[in-house]
Structures are given as C-alpha cells and as structure tokens.
Amino acid sequence: MDFDPLSFFTPDSTDGDDHVDTNNGVIPRDGGDVGGFIPNVDDGDLEDGDLEEGPLHILDFPQLNGRLPAAVLISLLKLLARNEETNFGKEETLMLDQLLVQRSIDLEDYGFTLQWLRDHGYVKLARCLPDVPFNQDTFQYLNKILSSHFIEDADIAQLTSLRISENCGRTARPQFTRKIIIDHLETPILLNEPALTSDSLGLKTWGSSLVLSELLAKTHEGLDIHGEILELGAGTGLVGITLSKLGYEVVLTDLPEILDNLRKNVELNSVDSECHVLDWTDPSSFVEIKGPDVKYTTVVVADPIYSPEHPQWVVNMVDRFLSKSSESQLLIQIPLRQLYESERQLLWSLLKEIGLRVVEEQYVDGFDDFGEQKFVYKRLKWQL
C-alpha cells in the first residue's frame, strides 16, 4: 500500500511555532538577570540596528569557525528543539526553568551562551533567547553546520540532524513523546511515537483516537459498559489507556510490529491492561491465548479504514468477538476522508448485514498532525 499523508488530511494553516513564557518565568524577554548570573543588557546599550524587528537572518547566527565555543553551539541546537506536544495543538508554553530542564541545558551553560552572543555582536539572536524561531534561514544554518570542516563534535552533528528532521514534517520526524490532556482524567497520557513509515501507521496517534477518547471520558457512565472491553487496532494505545484510566478492564490489540510500542505506552502510563496480537486476517493466535469461547460485550475501534480490505476484516472481527446479547455494543470513530468514502459506506453496509443497528451517531470536528478533519462516531447494538 502506497503511503501519501495528503490522502489522510488537508494540511492545517495554523501556525505551530514554539513559544516560551519568559515574562512570568526566570528571565524576561529582554534578557534580564537570573539569580545574579546572567547579566542584564539595557536597551540603551544596544545600537539602533540591534532593535530592528523581523525574522532572524542566517547572518544573525554565530560564524562557524574555530573561535565558536562548542558549548554555545550545543546550547543553541538544544534550544531549537521542539517543545513537548500537547494533543495536536500548539506546543505548550513553558517558563524558562522548565524549558532548560526539558532541553537538558544547565543554567550556567545558558548564561554563558547568552553572554557570549552579546559579547560577540550577536545581540539580535541573544534577544530571542530562549525562544529561537525556526525559519528557512535556520535550516540553512543547520545545513552549514553539517558541511562545516570546523565542526567535528559528534554531539553537534547528531543534534543538528535531529533539528532538521524534526522540522521536515511528521513523516520525517524522529521518535518523540506526545502528551495528551483529556478532561475528566486526573493525569495526562504520554505516548511514545516512533518515526512514521508507510508500513507502521499504527505507530502514530491519529485524530480519531483523541476525539473518541474525549467523548468516552465525557459520556462513559451512560454507556452501561460491562466486563472487559476489546479494542481493535489500538495503535499507540490512546483509547484503551483512556478507558483503563476511567476504571475499565481493557484488552488492547494490534499487529505484531505495533505491539512492542503499544506495551511501552501502557507501561509508560502505569495502567494495568492486556496487550495482545490480533491479526484481522487470522485471529487464531489471539483465540489461542484467550480461549475459543472468548467474547466481549463492548468492542471499540478508531480509524480502522485505510485500504479496500479493511471494511470486511473489521466486520469479521466484530462478528467474531462481540457477544450476541442486548448489552453488547460497538463503539466506532471514523474520519470522513474523501478518499475512503466507498470503503466507509461498505463498512456501514456490512455491519448492518450482520445485524447491528445504529443507536447513537455524532459528527465532530477535530484535527491532528495532518490538519483539520471531520469525524463520525457511531454506537451500534445487535438487532435481536
């Protein structure tokens, strides 16, 4: 299956620049004093040209030569890292002390970098710290670092490569941790997300999972859930972990190549949930573990359709594992992607053929890494 992210979502026009709250933190925006260590520079000490507005130019960054301290360059590269992401919105605002901890930068190293930039005429860049903007000139500077014969430090090369890949779009981004905040949950959910490739779409958190998790957290008490819940295609585990935090017993399932990361996220969030392989084309390994008579009164699935075969496979799993009782229910959340309209309609038709009827339906606006999207949530029960 060819992987084209544009077939999943329309890119969002929302600006995603990092921002660090320095007005209420340790250091004000103009570079004030931190514990007496980082010196203050008054506006009167700066030339008129230093106060010009506008984006950073490549010439505003330190020249790459033997006089540039490695500590300064390493600090700048760490400051260029993306902030920890919350849900799929803008990266969260951090105070300076929080940001330095997140970036693994000592206060002394930060102070030295700030002072060195000021002493050597890079006042415009110094005034941006710690919130260094990322633009095309920043890309050019990073590429110059990689090609410079003055730079031999392996840590600098690694940090530079990471900063480039982080800002080349979601499909080029290296492994990172996403923080999900959901109303009605006491603590955030942390999700490890490896690099995204065409054969590992389950290693990414998709918008359907967030929308469904938020809905379940708000309405779960009215769903009359009994016994264990089976999640099909759990991916990074957001929906299953949410249900576990709400107090339910959940069995999270996915393909073998997804399971290691899924288990890691379950452990990361300290929830007691089972994780098993469940191949929709051959569920025998799952049945061998859980027993031939295994059934569930609630089956949950989010965003399961991204190939022509998936509607039939999903319905096969629902028919096999959803118990035939009046209490049983299927909870399904699907994005309304134009490319998969026919597959979506086939799914609804096949679910009706096996005897399931829609008892609740909601349309919701949401988004994720690839842009805004409309979603449909359906709750289905057996027509007995």
Given a cut of 70, whether residue 370 has pLDDT beyond it is no
Question: What pLDDT, on a 0 to 100 scale, did the predictor assign at position 92?
Answer: 61
Question: What pLDDT, on a 0 to 100 scale, did the predictor assign at position 329?
Answer: 98
Give the whole-angstrom CA distance, residue 339 versus residue 178: 27
- Same structural domain for residues 143 and 183? no
Residue type, 277: V
Of 374, 375, 367, residue with least CA distance to 13:
367
- Same structural domain for residues 110 and 180? no
Given a cut of 80, whether residue 171 has pLDDT beyond it is no
Please report, for the domain that includes residue 250, its CATH number: 3.40.50.150
Mean pLDDT in residue range 277-295: 98
Pair of tokens at residue 375: 């979603």
Mean pLDDT in residue range 304-313: 94
Residue 283 or 24, more confident:
283
Pair of tokens at residue 97: 């002390």
Q: Which residues of 353-366 are buried (b: 16+ CB within 10 A; e: fewer)?
A: eeebeeeeeeebeb
- Same structural domain for residues 160 and 212? no
Question: What pLDDT, on a 0 to 100 scale, did the predictor assign at position 40?
Answer: 42
Give the residues across from 26 on adjacent strands.
none
Residue 205 or 174, more confident:
205
State the residue for tokens 């084309």.
281
Angle at 94 between CA 104 and CA 41, to 5 degrees: 85
Pair of tokens at residue 17: 């620049």
Question: What pLDDT, on a 0 to 100 scale, did the predictor assign at position 324?
Answer: 97
Given a cut of 90, whether residue 136 has pLDDT beyond it is no
- Same structural domain for residues 316 and 366? yes
Given a cut of 90, whether residue 36 has pLDDT beyond it is no
Residue 84 or 55, more confident:
55
- Same structural domain for residues 258 and 163? no
Question: What pLDDT, on a 0 to 100 scale, did the predictor assign at position 258?
Answer: 95
Mean pLDDT in residue range 174-199: 82
Question: What pLDDT, on a 0 to 100 scale, did the predictor assign at position 53?
Answer: 56
Give the whole-angstrom CA distance, residue 250 versus residue 325: 19
- Same structural domain for residues 316 and 338? yes
- Same structural domain for residues 166 and 301? no
Residue that is last in its domain, among 172, 198, 222: 172
Question: What pLDDT, on a 0 to 100 scale, did the predictor assign at position 19?
Answer: 39
Give the distance from CA 294 to its chain's centroid: 33
- Same structural domain for residues 94 and 212? no
On whether the pTM is more than 0.85, the answer is: no
For residue 255, the SS3 value is coil
- Same structural domain for residues 11 and 116? yes
Query: Is the Cβ–Cβ distance between 121 and 90 less than 8 Å?
Result: no
Pair of tokens at residue 164: 């480039």
Percent pLDDT > 70 in the chain is: 79
Question: What pLDDT, on a 0 to 100 scale, did the predictor assign at position 173?
Answer: 58
Q: What torsion do the CA atoms of 318, 319, 321, 326 make, to the nearest 10 degrees? A: 100
The residue segments making up the domain with residue 202 are 176-382
Mean pLDDT in residue range 104-126: 94
Residue that is last in its domain, among 150, 172, 194: 172
- Same structural domain for residues 154 and 215? no
Strands 371-382 and 356-368, bridge-based pairing: antiparallel
Give the whole-angstrom CA distance, residue 183 versus residue 203: 24
Given a cut of 70, whether residue 30 has pLDDT beyond it is no
The backbone region for 304, taken as left when phi is positive above 0, alpha when psi lies in -120 to 50, beta otherwise, is: alpha
| Mean pLDDT over the full length of the chain | 83
Of 150, 164, 144, 138, residue with least CA distance to 69:
150
- Same structural domain for residues 331 and 211? yes
In the structure, what pLDDT confidence band is assigned to residue 73 with cuts at 50, 70 and 90? very high
- Same structural domain for residues 189 and 103? no
Domain count for the chain: 2
CB-count burial class (<10 Å; 0-12, 13-18, 19+) for 288: exposed
Residue type, 180: I
Residue that is last in its domain, among 156, 172, 188: 172
State the residue for tokens 């009706």.
352
